Chain A
Amino acid sequence: MKRLWPLTLLFWLGAAQAHIASNGFLVANVRGQDIAGSIELAVRDVELAVGVDTNHDGKVSWGEVRARAPQLLQYVGQHLFLSAQDRVCAVNLGALQINDRVDGSYVWMPFTAHCPTAVQRLGIRYSMLDEIDPSHRGLLTLTAGQVTQSGVLGGPNAAAAFAVYSPSSWRTFIEYLQAGIWHIWSGIDHLLFLLSLLLPAVLLRRHRHWQPVAAARPAVFSILKVVTAFTLAHSITLTLAALNVVRLPSRLTESVIAASIIIAALNNIFPVVTDSRARIAFAFGLLHGFGFASVLADMGLPSGARLLSLLAFNLGIETGQLAVVLGIMPIAYAVRSSLVYRRAVLPWGSALIAAIALVWLVQRALPPVV
């Protein structure tokens, strides 16, 4: 039933539009000194404000709206002012689009604003249509960090101020560190990849057989090489992606990440690369970095603390990863001589990992089933 709704609604939008009072919709996302968002005014209100029905046929076409875009943007610029702690922010309006709402079509305009200082108290002066329709209100959705608040602008609240959650650098650091740790723990695919590379680190491949390493030193060295290579690789791509230098489609990276786990796991059952697993770790680590970046993209990097939060997120990933290595590898080292580890844990464990990753690969690579 739920799936059918949008279709039914499209039908309904044509057939019916509920009359509600005149509203504008203002969406603002605050990030440090920057604000990004959109402002929407009903086509009917746009007509009253700047006169878009230039051929006077009582109908407003998209072409007519577009032709009057400069006047509309000027009008909006004169009736919407943003400030941070009473210091004016420079607002830039983008190209017009159309948004269909329950009571008809709205002209949607994206905007960005840059403030002289990080926003703690956002001032909004909203006077759209004030002389034309005093009952017009701006409905505000204001987001900062994880906090969203709503407000009503215009009328008696022509000038309103909103306290904005703006965390200290230290809090931002902790927040992104936690997000990094949480991601490595919840994003089990990265852990399985690492585990596949580390399970054989306490063993040596000799004459087509796995043998336990004689001393701790080579095992630790081997683990260190793999972990360092993985860390180095994903840090590079995470940084590049987070700073928008490189972008890869997420379906591609997610699929290749799944494939990388299969390859690493199968390499334990049918060993091909035995001495330089660190190279596998580095090569595929580059792709895992893009995977981390997509999480970071969802969170967004706070402007003014971009590098700090990126560093914190990366450190969080390393911390989470280190905890796993320190938790599992001593046990693996302790039981490395047992037949169970070499004949069961390594091959069957790897097979299980490969099977799980295969399911992911299928899920991620195929288009979603509707």
Chain B
Amino acid sequence: MIVIDTHSRTTRRPRCIRGRLLPGALILLAPLASAWSAPYIPGSEARILAELPAGARHANLATRELTRRRLDIALPLVQFYISRARATADLRFLGYAEAILAPWMSRPDVPTQILVLHATILQSRHLFDASLAELDRALARTPDDAQAWLTRATILRVLGRYGESDSSCRHLAATADPAITTLCVQGLRGLTGQLPSAYAAIMALPQQALPPETRAWRYSELGEMAERLGDDPAAEHWLREGLAVAPDDFYLRAACADVLLRQGRAPQALQLLAGYESMEPMLLRIAIAHRMMHDAAGPGAAALLASAFSVEQQRGDAVHRREQARFLLDVSWQPAAALTAARQNWQVQHEPEDVLILLRAAQAAREPQAAEPAREFLRRERLEDARLGPYGAAP
């Protein structure tokens, strides 16, 4: 059985951004250093310091110990942790999943499912090349592993390698639900010069027959396509439908917030994102909304984000680089730093959102030639996106 798509879809999106400490983060951080750096002794023994999410308790370690020998316990537990990471954007869950995989990974005969799950974690950390290598290893062993082909197609699509992605999609036809193959293939056609017909093909999929994950994928694909067609009301409709099916899908929520923000509907965006402040991609949209409304909560959200970015950068691992570029552009207004982040992001991934942020940052920094690689990509792939029009890049 395939663990579908909300998976690939949700994680392929929101986390990116790697790079050096950008001055914006530092400036915003300066006043915080003092606000956060003072340890204290709480006044009351009853004071609650943390609430523990399910699966993150010391008592769970006994179960984890069992997973060293029992694949039938290891696999569902890793899947549980990965799904928690996806639903909450809490990166610690990916670490817990890795801890379970580690003893299995060091075996000479690593089970294929373990390899695929490891690849999924690497993908979530935006270590795309390492993830592809792991998937190739899995597929060499089990050539008809649908999950491996689907994950591979998703990664290659994020990297802008549409031809290779398409051939991975077609491997699904033999083993997976036809609707999945359709979504996979039509999604790529929508990025390569056949947007209207791909939109129609996905709309024609009979949604009632689909399992919930596939339905959510369909809605997110439709929402995304409507955005690129310049039909924001339709995009909002599809994305809200998707959220009704999968309220935990934070890619759908972030995409929906973007549609609202683009229309200047900041209060509605805040309403949509209330309660999701702990997720960086959501917090970014919240900060942008506050910025648009010029209200008092803006600096707080901005400072929180800047601080999170700076800790991620000190770690030096794959961080939310696209979000950071957008933060520098739309919240702290540092076009030059935003362009640096957008260019670094472009070196890693080539989604329409990545094209958009590079074009916008280049224009804001008055260095239009910096976006030339993105324009070249648009011409080559015949990517259609109404959002790019104002930046002189509409086909």
Q: A interface vs B, CB < 8 Å?
A: 1-2, 4-6, 8-12, 15-23, 38, 42-44, 47-53, 56, 58-63, 65-66, 97-105, 108, 131-137, 139, 150, 152
What are 16 A-B interface contacts by the 8 Å CB criterion?
Answer: A1-B299, A8-B297, A12-B300, A12-B303, A16-B277, A16-B283, A18-B305, A19-B90, A20-B308, A21-B91, A22-B95, A51-B57, A62-B49, A99-B40, A102-B304, A152-B316
A22–B39 CB distance below 8 A: no
Total of A-B residue pairs, C-beta within 8 Å: 184
B46–A61 CB distance below 8 A: yes
Query: Quick one: which of A12, A23, A56 has the most chain B CB within 10 A?
Result: A12
**How many angstroms from the CA of A42 to the CA of B311 in the assembled complex?**
14
Question: Does B1 sit at the interface, judged by CB under 8 A?
Answer: no
B39–A99 CB distance below 8 A: yes
**How many angstroms from the CA of A277 to the CA of B353 in the assembled complex?**
78
B301–A53 CB distance below 8 A: no
**How many angstroms from the CA of A58 to the CA of B51 in the assembled complex?**
6
Query: Which chain A residue shows the least CB distance to B314?
Result: A139
Query: Which chain A residue shows the least CB distance to B306?
Result: A102
Chain B contacts for A42, CB-based, 8 A: 50
**How many angstroms from the CA of A65 to the CA of B44 in the assembled complex?**
12
Query: Which chain A residue shows the least CB distance to B286?
Result: A16
| A58-B57 in contact given A12-B297, A133-B96 (Cβ < 8 Å) | yes
Question: Does B203 sit at the interface, judged by CB under 8 A?
Answer: no
A62–B95 CB distance below 8 A: no
A47–B61 CB distance below 8 A: no
Q: Smallest Cβ distance from B98 to chain A, in angstroms?
A: 5
Q: Smallest Cβ distance from A15 to chain B, in angstroms?
A: 6
Secondary structure type dominating chain A contacts: mixed
Contacting residues of chain B (36-57) with chain A, CB-CB under 8 angstroms: 36-42, 44-52, 56-57
Knowing that A44-B56, A58-B57, A139-B311 touch, tell me 18 more A-B residue pairs with CB under 8 angstroms: A5-B299, A9-B36, A9-B304, A10-B35, A18-B277, A21-B95, A22-B95, A47-B52, A59-B51, A62-B44, A63-B46, A65-B49, A99-B38, A108-B39, A134-B102, A135-B92, A135-B95, A152-B315
Q: Smallest Cβ distance from B276 to chain A, in angstroms?
A: 9
**How many angstroms from the CA of A133 to the CA of B96 in the assembled complex?**
5
**How many angstroms from the CA of A251 to the CA of B308 in the assembled complex?**
37
Chain B contacts for A10, CB-based, 8 A: 35
Q: Chain B, 51-87, contact with A by CB distance < 8 Å: what is the 0/1 string?
A: 1100011110100000000000000000000000000
Chain A contacts for B42, CB-based, 8 A: 62, 98
**How many angstroms from the CA of A1 to the CA of B280 in the assembled complex?**
24
**How many angstroms from the CA of A150 to the CA of B21 in the assembled complex?**
12
Question: Does B94 sit at the interface, judged by CB under 8 A?
Answer: yes
Chain B contacts for A8, CB-based, 8 A: 296-297, 299-300, 303
**How many angstroms from the CA of A1 to the CA of B28 in the assembled complex?**
12
Q: Which of B35, B48, B91, B299 contacts A19 (CB 8 A)?
A: B91
Q: Smallest Cβ distance from A312 to chain B, in angstroms?
A: 32
Chain A contacts for B303, CB-based, 8 A: 5, 8-9, 12
Chain B contacts for A51, CB-based, 8 A: 57-59
A47–B56 CB distance below 8 A: yes
